[in-house]
């Protein structure tokens, strides 16, 4: 009898964690953007976008990273269960020719929990 109660208790505990503990155990994909400090008009710069996510396994991984510049799609990486990101934290680099002020927006999405929200950086270009 005690063993049956223990099994039911364990099943109940697992169900509670799965249903209500998602925010405690889960991690949404988040991004941060790094750009050079001094950018002059016409220069080609390297933009680095770092994605952090506390999982990178067959069942739970960053599914997509999208970068937009001035509201237009600029780069995107899509991942699958078998073609996952390099690690739980990874960085992608893109080149961009700065002809004037611009805005970068980056967002990554977890296949299970979605995004922690987009990161945005406004860049002022010097003459």
Residue 16 in this model has a pLDDT that exceeds 60: no
> What is the sign, positive or negative, of the torsion defined by CA atoms of 110, 113, 116, 120?
positive
107 contacts 118 by C-beta, under 8 angstroms: yes
In the chain, the domains with their CATH numbers are 27-123 (2.60.40.10)
Percentage with pLDDT > 70 across the chain: 80
Rounded CA gap, 68 and 48, in Å? 13
**pLDDT tens digits along 60-118:** 999 999 999 999 999 999 999 999 998 999 999 999 999 999 999 999 999 999 999 99
Interatomic CA distance for residues 33 and 65, integer angstroms: 12
């Amino acid at each position: 009898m005690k063993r049956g109660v223990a099994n039911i208790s364990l099943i109940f505990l697992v169900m509670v964690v799965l249903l209500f503990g998602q925010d405690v155990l889960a991690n949404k994909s988040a991004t941060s953007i790094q750009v050079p400090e001094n950018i002059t008009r016409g220069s080609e710069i390297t933009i680095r976008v770092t994605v952090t996510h506390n999982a990178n396994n067959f069942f739970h991984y960053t599914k997509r990273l999208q970068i937009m510049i001035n509201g237009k799609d600029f780069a995107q990486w899509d991942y699958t269960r078998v073609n996952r990101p390099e690690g739980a934290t990874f960085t992608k680099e893109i080149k961009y020719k700065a002809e004037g002020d611009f805005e970068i927006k980056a967002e990554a999405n977890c296949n299970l929990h979605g995004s922690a929200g987009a990161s945005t950086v406004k860049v002022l270009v010097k003459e």
